């Protein structure tokens, strides 16, 4: 099954897996699952690292490339279709990164692996 990863799910799995729910950990550990990461999430993590608001266990580029390779992650680009969907979303989330994740999950019809219950307001299938 395919799962779209929220930023904290990826960060916690790589650096602090004890923070994941048992269900989220099982999903991310199962090599038969297809893990998908939005290009927006890569950007979001990079911004937070650059602002020194997010420490990672190794430099950003090395950390991200290793996480993508180790987990066999597929990168989901940002497309006109996702942005068009995002434009019509209600403003439950003011965070633009979370809004694009919601639109990608809805358009793709895939569940979002996230602790953030605000996503439930968008009709996203959220798993934690």
Domain coordinates in residue numbering, the chain: 2-127
Per residue in 40-53, pLDDT tens?
A: 999 999 999 999 99
Per residue in 14-46, pLDDT tens?
A: 999 999 999 999 999 999 999 999 999 999 999
Q: Does 3.40.50.1010 match the CATH number of domain 2-127?
A: yes
Q: Which long-range contacts (CB under 8 A, 24 or more apart) does 107-112 make?
A: 107/81, 107/82, 108/2, 108/4, 108/36, 108/76, 110/2, 110/3, 110/4, 110/36, 111/1, 111/2, 111/3, 111/4, 112/3, 112/4, 112/5, 112/6
Tokens of 50: 């650059």
pTM value > 0.85: yes
């Amino acid at each position: 099954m395919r799962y779209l990863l929220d930023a904290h799910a990826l960060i916690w799995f790589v650096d602090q897996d004890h923070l994941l729910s048992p269900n989220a950990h099982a999903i991310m550990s199962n090599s038969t699952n297809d893990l998908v990461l939005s290009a927006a999430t890569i950007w979001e993590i990079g911004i937070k690292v650059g602002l020194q608001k997010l420490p990672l266990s190794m430099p950003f580029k090395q950390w991200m490339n290793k996480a993508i390779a180790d987990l066999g992650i597929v990168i989901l680009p940002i497309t006109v279709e996702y942005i068009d969907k995002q434009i019509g979303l209600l403003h439950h989330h003011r965070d633009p990164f979370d809004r694009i994740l919601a639109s990608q999950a809805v358009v793709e019809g895939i569940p979002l692996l996230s602790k953030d219950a605000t996503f439930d307001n968008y009709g996203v299938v959220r798993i934690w």
